[in-house]
Amino acid sequence: MKRRDFLAGAAGALALPGAALAQVDPRDPLVRALTNGAPVRKGKVTLVLPQLADNGNSVPIRITVDSPMTPADHVKSIHLYSERNPVPNMANFYLGPRAGKAEINSRVRLAGSQRVTAVAKLSDGSFWYDAAPIVVTLSACLDES
């Protein structure tokens, strides 16, 4: 193999993980079930989690979506995914134009340090996401507490 070919191949291989970082993995069957193969872009959604949780049994979470929430342009639903929980799809929230403001606050259980992802479906059919890492010192679900 010529040195030039090798470099071109290496650059291609490096570009792939980059593309995966820009989007939620579309091959993930859970996300696929929701999007039906449509692209999920980063942006519009803001997911706020504490950086560190002493106890994974109750972690405050806030999801906001940048949307005018009018009948023509609103958030239809927000879906929460966990990387390490035994039930990866933690919750789905369904909103509508009557919400006035696309923001949800709740408290979740997290089984260990991980990345939590929120995917929002908009009324125009597009999907947006945000993800946040969190360190959990005492995990929920799996231990006897």
Partner 1 sequence: MAARIQIPREAKRGDVIEVRILIQHPMETGYRHDDVGHLIKRNVINALSCRYDGVEVFRADLSSGISANPYVQFYTVAEASGDLEFTWIDDEGERGSERQAIVVRG
**Which chain residues interact with partner 1 by CB under 8 A?**
57-59, 80, 82, 85-87, 89-96, 98-110, 140-142, 144
The single-letter code of the amino acid at 99 is A
Q: At its nearest, how many Å lie between partner 1 and the CB of residue 44?
A: 17
51 touches 105 (CB < 8 A): no
Cβ closest to partner 1, residue 41 vs residue 57:
57
Instruction: Determine contact, residues 137/145, Cβ cutoff 8 Å.
Output: no
Rg (CA), the chain: 18
| CB 42 to partner 1: min, Å | 22
Q: Is residue 30 helix, strand or coil?
A: helix
CB closer to partner 1, 39 vs 68 = 68
CB of 53 to partner 1, least distance (A): 11
Place of tokens 């939590």: 116
Q: What minimum distance in Å lies between the beta carbon of 26 and partner 1?
A: 22
Pairing of strands 127-136, 114-122: antiparallel
Closest to partner 1 by CB, 40 or 63: 63
